[in-house]
Structure 1
Amino acid sequence: MFCCTLDEWLLDEPDESTRSMLLELLERRYDQASTVFCTQYAKRDWHQRLGSGVHADAIMDRIVHNTIWVETGGHNMREHTAGQVKA
């Protein structure tokens, strides 16, 4: 399996069918392949954005184990570049 990147992770809150698909995807990839999550949301908010239910629990369980977290800081490039355009 190849690495999978989920860009703009949780930009929109997933509905039930999307949560089911995410759980299936993560289950198949668990301990088999890398998955990269790119998001502007803090990881402490992921569970709530996933719907805070049983699916959210299962998805987060598969994400947090065997994970390497790379924090790029609190700087938001969209806000930064928007400020440059206005100036």
Structure 2
Amino acid sequence: MSRLDGETKRKLREMNAGELLEAIDSQDETLSIGMPFEERVRLVVDDAYDSFTHSKVEGLIRRAGLRYPNADLRRIDLLDERRLNRELLTQLGTCSFVNRQQNVVFQGFTGSGKSYL
């Protein structure tokens, strides 16, 4: 897409389409030259949607007031002495228990990582 004029950028911002504007501005002209219009628009929209979703998730995490907002199941130290079940953690990571309306209870000694989970 060619560079947008100031008025078009202003309108996009006014419509709260900042992510779309950023995606358009960051699109590499040399990589997208020769692409059909629809493909270029799809790439821009995909990029803007990813940015929008990421911002939304970050906001939800911030408002949740979690003790460890950067906790990530992929960073759990699975040492043998901790006796953590990798398959169970992977299953919990899918959050399928929510759809099944099941509760999850973490038990363990102090410092075992319950709050992190």
TM range (shorter): under 0.3
TM-score of the pair, normalised by structure 2:
0.20
Q: Relative contact order (C-alpha < 8 Å, sep 6+): which is higher? A: 1
Q: Which has the higher strand share?
A: 1
State TM-score, norm by structure 1: 0.24
Structure (1 or 2) with the greater helix fraction: 2
- Greater CA radius of gyration, 1 or 2? 2
